[in-house]
Amino acid sequence: MTRSVLALLAALAAALPAAARPRPDVLHRAEQFYLDGVVYYENGDWQKALASWKTCYRNAPRGSEEREECRLGLAKLGEEPTPPPARSPSAERRAEQSYLEGVVYYQKGDYVRAASAWNRGLTLAPDGDAAADCRAGLERLDKLYGVTPAP
């Protein structure tokens, strides 16, 4: 029974498009900022708690549990999180350019620069189509070579 449930869960996860799954390192960083904020809050360092939770909220994927926890932390301090700035068409174009730059580096075998370009694309337009392509490239590096090189 347990194996069939695990197999079903694995099949469902594999069926999700790569762009729909947040990268584990993004979630880990957001969770770490949240936990740092909790420690600061418990120690009475409100400014550092506020900064940690704001950073967490900005970096956690939309709809994630981590983002909601950070929003609740900000609410404890009487802060409403500021929505991320509206994405401009030029940011999306620059993200697309970063994706294409990463593809060129990947084809040349320079995986560190490819990862750097794709991470830059994610930063420029985290919710756009180019970001999905950048995530897919980073996941491919991770799948083929075990670890995504740090930018």
Which tokens sit at 84? 């991320």
End-to-end CA distance of the chain: 43
d(CA 112, CA 101): 12
For 148, phi then psi, to 5°, come to -80, 125
The verdict on pTM exceeding 0.75 is no
**What torsion do the CA atoms of 84, 29, 97, 83 make, to the nearest 10 degrees?**
0
pLDDT of residue 20: 45
Q: Does residue 10 register a pLDDT over 80?
A: no
d(CA 139, CA 115): 10
Percent of the chain with pLDDT over 90: 7
Q: Nearest Cα to 74, choosing from 62, 63, 64, 66?
A: 66
Q: Where is average pLDDT lowest: 3-7, 24-28, 75-79, 117-121? A: 3-7
Q: Are 76 and 63 in contact (CB under 8 A)?
A: no
pLDDT of residue 65: 83
The H-or-E segment that residue 95 falls in is helix 89-108
pLDDT, mean of residues 51-79? 83
